[in-house]
A and B are shown apart, each in its own frame.
Chain A
Amino acid sequence: MNITFSSFREISEAIKTKKVSAVEVTKHFLDRIQLLDTKLNSFITLNENAIQQAQNIDDQIKAGDVLGPLAGIPFGIKDMLCTKNLRTTAGSKILENFIPPYDSTVVKKLKNSGAVILGKLNQDEFAMGSSNETSFFGPVKNPWNPEYVPGGSSGGSAAAQAARLVAGTIGTDTGGSIRQPASFCGVVGVKPTYGRVSRYGIIAYASSLDQAGPMTSNVEDAALALEMICGHDPMDGTSSQKVIPRWSADLKADVKGLRIGILEEALKSGLDSDVEKTVQNSIEAFKKMGAEIIPISLSLIEYSIPVYYLIAASEASSNLARYDGVRFGFRAEMQETATSLDDFYSITRGQGFGSESKRRIMIGTFCLSSGYHEEYYVKACKVRRLIKNQYDEAYKKCDIILSPVAATPAFKLGDRISNPLAMYLNDLYTTSANLAGLPSISIPFGLSKNRLPIGIQLTAQAFEEQKLLNAGFALEKASIIGKEKPYVI
């Protein structure tokens, strides 16, 4: 059995039927991390208890216990999600030594379904970034070419998954942070409907936009992992009570008669030629499989960047107020003589946060401040509703909206980091799904001339994950990426 390239179902079956032990599987991936991650920097912290967790799975199998569908599957977790007794940094100096006393609901659910936690994955600081270059723990390299970024903010998750240092990963997506790195690294990434996945224990960035989701090697794995982490949680006031369907069991690659809406604005916007070709090829693939192709317009999509950054920064400025150097996290060296309370906070926060986090805290503070609140924050929330209304209209004509994930494949390390505005514009096609709360997936589909992966984004109506996964499953079968491998492998 080739463990590296096996699906969740294959690995878990092999473990349950004792063809391979969970400990062997965990050791296999830990060896890969040891061997390859010096080139990628995708992990921030390894879980010293991983082998013990795997041993427990083996013991339970020996005892004849019934185990969950992810029994013995090794996962890497983005460092935004709290893991009990395992350091959780959010990619920030201010949380460099933070060891949570509890598991986030997502991690708890993964463990309950049998998953083994290998460690915590690198990311942009507080998930603020599109290239993984704002991490306090250094940039992550793209496994397809080390001179290129893996995307962000879940860059560590995407890179580790693409290089198969893990069997599966979890990322978080506030404005594209799962889908864009998935596209740049050639893996599947799902952002679920807002409310599907509990945010309890996920370090808060922008609470009305944040959702966690799986980043995996194929759609079937994504469907299964998603099924395991979704569900109502009384600890999150925005958690949906809707029943979680059995997405993985009901996965069908049949798209006959499915109405695929093509986002016209994207095709007119001067896409990179390789991205444009990939989009055209994906439309052809859907046509061949019997889907109906319908042009769709979302004229407000150009406003999604200002609306997104305005709302996200506003929420972030409030959420990040908790880092005060008193109860947890970094505290700047202080003289033992009396200092002012404001200085105590300001010096600690000034040293603890990186420059992108500071920039967004300041933007948000300004947009929420007296005199500007109505004109900026409230106005953005109104335009947010207009964007959602436009989606609602579009879904009267189609079932799924197809667009590029990003206008370009991965860009070079250092190329955009000094220009925040250019970096923000990367997120043109991903942010609107967060603003409207819609489920959205990135499917690896094409390769650029430079051999960098290019993903296709599919977006469905709220709570229509099955339709989304089915369309993704069909598209995946027509993809060329499965046969290609990143250089590190």
Chain B
Amino acid sequence: MSDIKVDFKAVQHIAKLSRLAINEQQAQEYTNQLNQILGLFDKISNLSTEGIEPLVTPTEIEIFWREDIAENNYSSEEMVANAPSQQGSLFKVPPVV
């Protein structure tokens, strides 16, 4: 893991996967910063974690169930009110291909 570093091209690829448009200057800056940060992450690669289960939810939460009942809490007008563009109760987007 300690060998993994990202170059300029890899950062552009990560930005594409992240759906973030960044310019070349930003990509260069992020390349430097991401390498520094990944260097910090490399610290954990030397720790032995054999037989250790990953921990995701840190406290023991009792599982609970609720009925899956459809509720009508909001009007469609309320639901589209925050859209950058709307028409009636519909979300409006520019033509995309």
Interface residues of A (CB under 8 A from B): 97-99, 101-102, 193-195, 208-209, 232, 234, 237-241, 300, 302-303, 305-307, 309-310, 317, 321, 324-331, 334-347, 349-351, 353, 355, 358-359, 361-363, 365-367, 369, 372, 375-376, 378-386, 388, 420-421, 424, 434-438, 462-463
Contact = CB atoms under 8 A, between A and B. Distances in A.
Q: Which 3 A-B residue pairings sit nearest by Cβ, starting from the closest?
A: A437-B58, A381-B54, A350-B21
A388 B16 CA distance: 35
A330 B19 contact: no
B87 interface: no
Contacts of B33: 359, 420-421
Given A309-B40, A327-B83, 19 more contacts: A97-B82, A101-B78, A234-B64, A238-B61, A239-B61, A306-B42, A307-B44, A327-B82, A330-B84, A342-B16, A349-B18, A361-B18, A369-B14, A379-B45, A382-B49, A384-B54, A385-B55, A421-B37, A424-B37
15 contacts: A194-B58, A195-B59, A300-B47, A309-B40, A324-B19, A338-B94, A343-B21, A349-B18, A372-B4, A381-B54, A382-B49, A382-B54, A385-B54, A388-B58, A437-B58
A411 to B, nearest CB: 19
Given A328-B83, A336-B94, A359-B30, A195 B61 contact: yes
B19 to A, nearest CB: 4
A101 B59 CA distance: 31
Nearest to A235: B66
Interface string B15-30: 1111111100010001
Contact of A361 (B20, B43, B47, B80): B20
A362 B18 contact: yes
Contacts of A331: 84-85
A337 B19 contact: no
Nearest to A196: B59
A328 B55 CA distance: 33
A336 B18 contact: no
A347 B55 contact: no
Contacts of B42: 306
B12 to A, nearest CB: 10
Contact of B58 (A336, A421, A436): A436
B59 A462 contact: yes
B40 A340 contact: no
A238 B64 CA distance: 9
A383 B36 CA distance: 20
B22 A350 contact: yes
A240 B14 contact: no
Interface in B31-80: 33-34, 36-38, 40-45, 47, 49, 52-62, 64, 66, 73-74, 78-80
Contacts of B83: 326-328
Given A98-B82, A339-B96, A376-B41, A317 B18 contact: yes
A415 to B, nearest CB: 17
A367 B1 CA distance: 12
Contacts of A337: 95
B91 interface: yes
A194 B49 contact: no
Contact of A362 (B34, B44, B56, B79): B34
Interface of B: 1, 4, 6, 11, 14-22, 26, 30, 33-34, 36-38, 40-45, 47, 49, 52-62, 64, 66, 73-74, 78-85, 91, 93-97
Interface centre among A232, A300, A386, A462 (most CB of B within 10 A): A386
Nearest to A381: B54
Nearest to A321: B19
Contacts of A379: 1, 44-45, 49
A189 B6 CA distance: 38
B13 to A, nearest CB: 9
A303 B47 contact: yes
Contacts of A234: 64, 66
Most-contacted residue by chain A among B1, B20, B94 (CB, 10 A): B20
B32 to A, nearest CB: 10
B21 A306 contact: no
B61 to A, nearest CB: 5
Contacts of A345: 19
A258 to B, nearest CB: 23
A324 B96 CA distance: 14
Contacts of B14: 362, 365-366, 369
B57 A238 contact: yes
A379 to B, nearest CB: 6
Contact of A241 (B4, B30, B64, B66): B64
A329 B54 contact: no
A327 B6 CA distance: 34
Contacts of A344: 93-94, 96
A447 B37 CA distance: 33
A331 B34 CA distance: 27
Nearest to A382: B49
A78 B71 CA distance: 29
A309 to B, nearest CB: 7
